[in-house]
Amino acid sequence: MRVIIVAALSMALAAPAFAAADKQPPSRMPSEMTPTEIKAYNADIARNHPYYIVCRKTETVGSLVKKLRVCRTNEQWKEASAKGNENTREMVEGFARSGGTNGN
């Protein structure tokens, strides 16, 4: 009897983990989704899941007030960060190869 109860509780607690494991990426770009759609999509997955959608507000150049809402999955944020780091690394290495001059 105890074994059955423990097994049932284990399955009940593990059910959200199984649901998140087979979660598909969003069908359209997260920035095109409404906040309500994003909340519904994120409802059954953990914050650290690769497909969890995170929105950030970035400043718009030329405006003191206007903000741009950018939404991406954790996986997309990670890729963007890696690409930015790679571009910066290449620029710094190129600057070092040129002897520290800017070509002037």
Tell whether the model's pLDDT for residue 11 goes beyond 70.
Answer: no
In this prediction, residue 22 carries a pLDDT of 77
- Please give the model's pTM, rounded to 2 decimal places: 0.66
Helix H or strand E encompassing 5: helix 2-21
Cα 87 to the center of its chain, rounded Å: 20
Backbone angles phi, psi at 65, to 5 degrees: -115, -45
* Domain range summary for the chain, segments of one domain joined by +: 2-97
| Residue with the larger pLDDT of the pair 100 and 56 | 56
Tell me the pLDDT tens digit for each residue of 41-92.
Answer: 999 999 999 999 999 999 989 988 899 999 999 999 999 999 999 999 999 9
